[in-house]
Amino acid sequence: MQKDDRPVILVTNDDGITAPGIRNLVEAVRDLGRVVVVAPDKPQSGMGHAITIGEPLRLEKVNEFDDIESWQCSGTPVDCVKLAKDKILHRKPDICLSGINHGPNHSINIIYSGTMSAAMEAAIEGIPSVGFSLYEFGFDADFTVSKHLAHTITKRMLEERLPEHTLLNVNIPKAKPDEFKGIKICRQAYAKWAEEFDERLDIEALKNGYASIVPIKIDFTDMAAKQMLEEKWKDLL
Amino acid sequence: MQKDDRPVILVTNDDGITAPGIRNLVEAVRDLGRVVVVAPDKPQSGMGHAITIGEPLRLEKVNEFDDIESWQCSGTPVDCVKLAKDKILHRKPDICLSGINHGPNHSINIIYSGTMSAAMEAAIEGIPSVGFSLYEFGFDADFTVSKHLAHTITKRMLEERLPEHTLLNVNIPKAKPDEFKGIKICRQAYAKWAEEFDERLDIEALKNGYASIVPIKIDFTDMAAKQMLEEKWKDLL
C-alpha cells in the first residue's frame, strides 16, 4: 500500500453531517490533501463549547461523501474534534476546518457557536484551524463564493503556518461571484454595543459585501485590566 | 412597601442550586445587597457556553435559601443569566456572581466551564461579573477562605466598577485560613503547553496556595495576528 503523505484535513461542522455547508466545504478542499470528515449526526447549533459528559458517544463510519472517509458522531462539534484526533486519526490533523455554517458567526456570538468551538478546540490542541460561516441561512444557499474562499484560505494556511493557537473566523457575505467585494482582515465586533468608528469590524465588513477574517486568540486575559487591578487593588494583594 | 435600593446581586452556578458552593456564595454576600438566586435544577458541568434551543425552559420559584429569592431553571447557566435579566428582574442586576464551583476553572479550561460561561454572559450584557471556583472537588469542601474572598471581591466590585465587559475569574486554593497565602492578579495559562517562565500564571498561583484573579476580556481578536495577516496576506485582500 502506498504511503499517503498528503496533509490531513479534518472537516467538521455543527449543522450535522448531511448539511449542504459541510458538503461544499469537502468539495472545496478535497484536492488539497487527505480529507477526513467527523461531524455530528444531527444539528448542534447553540452548543457553544459543550462537551458530552456522562453518556456514551456513538461514532459510526458512514458513506456520506463517496471516496472521502467520513464518520458521524452523537456528540457536539468539540467532541468530534477530540474523537477525530484520539480515536480515528491517532494523530493531530494538519488543519481542522469547521463549517461551512448556515448563518454568520460574527462578533461575540462566536461564543455560542458550535462551528467556532470546534475550531477553537483544534487551536487549543495546536492544530491550525478555521471556521467558515456563510451569511445566508437557507439550505439552498449559493456556496460559490464560499467554496472559492475555503479553497484559497485553506491552501494558504497549509503553506504558511499562523502562530500556534491562533485560529481564523471567516465569515462570507451573501453574494454572487460578481457581487463579492473581497476579503478584509477584521477585529471582532461587540454585537451588543457601540464601537469606535475607525475600527474595521467583522460585522461591518460582512454587511458591506466583504468576507471578514478575524484571527482569534485562545488567551482571554485582559492585559490592560490586569495592569489596572495590580495597581488599584494593591491593598488586597 | 418600602423601596429596596440595595444593589441587586444575581447568583448562579453550574453545579446546580442544591450544591454547597452556591449556598456558601449566598451566605458570603447576603449582607452586600439584595441577593437573587437563579440556578440550574441539576448539575450542568461541561456545558460551556451552551444555550437551550428548541425545547421549553422550566423556571420554578423555590425556597432553597430561606428569605433569599431563589429560582431553579431547567436550562444551562447561560440560560439562567438570560432568564434572570429578562423574566425575573426585568433589569440588569448590579453584579452577577457565579459559583462557588466545586473544582478549579483555570487556564483555557474556562471555555468548557458553565461557571465561567454564566459570568461571561453577564459581561456580554455589560453586567459586572465574577466566577468563583475552589480547587477542591468534594461536597464537604472547606469554604472558609472562599467565603472571605467572595465577600471581599464582591464588595470591591460594587464600590469600584471595572471596565465594561471585563469579568473576573477567581480561583481559590484548597487551604485553611492559616494556610492561605493571599491573592495574585494573574494571566491565564495555556494548560496544555509550556509558557514563558516569568509570567505570573493562574495555575501556578493556585498550586502555590494563592488565590488567582484573571481579568477576562470578551474580545477574542488576536491583534498581533491581525496585523501580521494584514501584511503577509496582502495579496489576498
HSE on the CB side for A161, CA within 13 Å?
A: 10
C-alpha–C-alpha distance, residues B90 and A105, integer Å: 28
- The per-residue pLDDT for A203 is 86
- The per-residue pLDDT for B53 is 76
The verdict on B30 touching A (C-beta cutoff 8 Å) is no
Q: What is the pLDDT of residues A132-191, one digit of tens each?
A: 999 998 778 999 999 999 999 999 999 998 888 899 999 999 999 999 999 999 998 864
C-alpha–C-alpha distance, residues B97 and B191, integer Å: 25
- Say if residue B176 is exposed, middle or buried (CB neighbours under 10 Å; 0-12, 13-18, 19+): exposed
Range scoring the smallest mean pLDDT among A52-56, A206-210, B98-102:
A52-56
pLDDT confidence bin for B209, thresholds 50/70/90: very high
> From the candidates B145, B169, B222, which should be mutated to test the interface with A, based on the most A CB atoms within 10 A?
B222
First to last CA, chain B: 63
Q: Give the C-alpha distances (Å, rounded to integers) separating A187 from A190, B76, B162, B219.
A: 10, 29, 22, 9
C-alpha–C-alpha distance, residues A190 and B230, integer Å: 21
Scored b (16 or more CB within 10 A) or e, B70-106 reads: bbbbbbbbbbbbbbbbeebbeebbbbbbbbbbbbbbb
A210-217: strand order across its sheet = A59-65, A68-73, A34-40, A8-12, A95-102, A129-134, A166-172, A210-217, A182-185
The verdict on A82 touching B (C-beta cutoff 8 Å) is no
- The per-residue pLDDT for A1 is 60
How does DSSP classify residue A201? B
- The per-residue pLDDT for A107 is 84
- In chain A, % of residues over pLDDT 90: 73
Largest CA distance in chain A: 68
Written as nine digits, the cell of B67 is: 428569605
The verdict on domain A8-236 having CATH code 3.90.1150.10 is no
Q: How many helices (H) and strands (E) does chain A have?
A: 6, 9
Residues of A in Cβ contact (< 8 Å) with B160 = 232
C-alpha–C-alpha distance, residues A187 and B73, integer Å: 35
Q: What is the pLDDT of residues A101-137, one digit of tens each?
A: 999 998 888 888 899 999 999 999 999 999 999 999 8
ipTM: 0.89
- Chains A and B form CB pairs within 8 A to the count of 171
The enclosing H or E element of B131 equals strand B129-134
Stronger pLDDT, A198 or B27, i.e. the higher one: B27
Cell numbers 471556583 correspond to B133
- Contact assessment for residue B25 and residue A28, using Cβ atoms and an 8 Å cutoff: no
- Contact assessment for residue B180 and residue B199, using Cβ atoms and an 8 Å cutoff: no
**Average pLDDT rounded to a whole number, residues B150-167:** 94
Inspect the interface and report whether the beta carbons of B186 and A226 lie closer than 8 Å. Answer: yes
pLDDT confidence bin for A35, thresholds 50/70/90: very high
- The per-residue pLDDT for B199 is 60
pLDDT confidence bin for B105, thresholds 50/70/90: very high
- The per-residue pLDDT for A194 is 47
For residue B7, pLDDT beyond 70: yes
The verdict on B233 touching A (C-beta cutoff 8 Å) is yes
The enclosing H or E element of A129 equals strand A129-134
Q: By C-alpha distance, which of B190, B218, B21 is closest to B103?
A: B21
- The per-residue pLDDT for B45 is 75
Q: What is the pLDDT of residues A192-217, one digit of tens each?
A: 544 454 567 888 899 899 999 999 98
C-alpha–C-alpha distance, residues B77 and B145, integer Å: 24
Inspect the interface and report whether the beta carbons of A188 and B221 lie closer than 8 Å. Answer: yes
